[in-house]
Amino acid sequence: MNAQDPAPTRRGLSAPEELLTVPQVMARLQLGRSAVYDLLRTRQLASITLGRARRIPAHALTRTRTRLDQGAAA
């Protein structure tokens, strides 16, 4: 690989995925801790576990926020 070759990416992502903590998700969704963990438990909000830390990809938060907004409008 020479200096002009682009760096390899995982899963075709062109930029590193932003991973959010539970408190960051709480702030963005304006929900409490229990509500966020309920979304995680019921798999309405996707997450990954890194060691003992739970992280939520930014794209998963966007999808969940859209679903919640559509549900509130109905």
CA distance 36 to 49: 15
| pLDDT digit string, tens, across residues 18-36 | 999 999 999 999 999 999 9
Question: pLDDT grade, residue 70 (50/70/90)?
Answer: confident
CA angle 6, 3, 10 (to 5 degrees): 25
pTM of this structure: 0.72
pLDDT for 1 equals 47
What pairs with residue 57 in β-bridges? 19
Domain ranges in the chain? 19-73
